[in-house]
Amino acid sequence: MGEVIKIAEKKQFIKWFLEKYELQNREAEWLLQYLCSNDQILEHVHFIDNFRNLPKTILMSTKCVQMTPFKFYKNKRVTSDVEKAFLDIHNNPTEDVYIGLFFKDRSISPEYAAVLETNPMDDSKESADALISLQAELFLDYVVRQWKLSKKYEQIDEALDKRDKRRFLELTNELREELELS
């Protein structure tokens, strides 16, 4: 983990990952493909497990885990907008980007371990607290998302019970859009 990972190794890993897993957010998949196609940017991409005190971090999750689909952190600002992350990376190609991937069996994946690096800003006790805090935030994002979806389903059921076709179509379109974003 302490060694420099070659660009070719990162490319190989990203290709393997995209073939094997499906990200919850389709735009995040496109972002990984973009990173893979640009050697200058890929040189500054680092796959990490510890996100503490890093200036620019991206977290992505696959469909096989229950985590938030996509988060981009830069200088204590957070967004779920993949396009903002893309524009920042595109406009600042020499800035380091730290990527955390959440997927089934990541802890035992030799492919992931081969590209995993240590956090250069790590300070053990505080990093453990930050990781717990981040995991709690990601879990809360997931819970809120599930709650919103359940409320939407309840509204759809209510529209069906009332035989309100217009409201039913409106709500199902909203639900479809929300599910496509995740």
- pLDDT, one tens digit per residue, over 44-83 is 999 998 877 788 999 999 998 888 899 999 988 999 999 9
Predicted local confidence at residue 2, as pLDDT:
46
What residues does 46 pair with on adjacent strands?
A: 98
Asked which of 122, 140, 162 is the last residue of a domain, the reply is 122
pLDDT per residue as tens digits for the range 144-161: 888 989 999 999 999 999
Do residues 67 and 82 both lie within one domain?
yes
| pLDDT over 90 at 140, yes or no | no
What's the CA gap between 115 and 1, in Å, rounded? Answer: 8
- Whether 130 and 116 map to the same domain: the answer is no
Are residues 78 and 158 located together in one domain of the fold? no
Same domain, 110 and 144: no
Mean pLDDT computed over every residue of the chain? 88
| Pair 39, 96 in one domain | yes
* Whether residue 168 sits in one domain with residue 86: no
CA distance 80 to 147: 18
What six digits make up the tokens of 105?
Answer: 């069996």
> Are the C-beta atoms of residues 145 and 181 closer than 8 Å to each other?
no
Instruction: Specify the CATH number for the domain of residue 118.
Output: 3.40.1530.30
Q: Containing domain of residue 32, as a range?
A: 7-122
Residue 136: its pLDDT value, please? 76
Same-domain check for residues 115 and 153: no
Q: Where are the alpha helices (DSSP H) in 64-123?
A: 82-91, 110-115
> Is residue 127 over pLDDT 60?
no
Q: Is the pLDDT of residue 114 over 50?
A: yes
- Count CA atoms closer than 13 A to 107's CA, side-chain side: 1
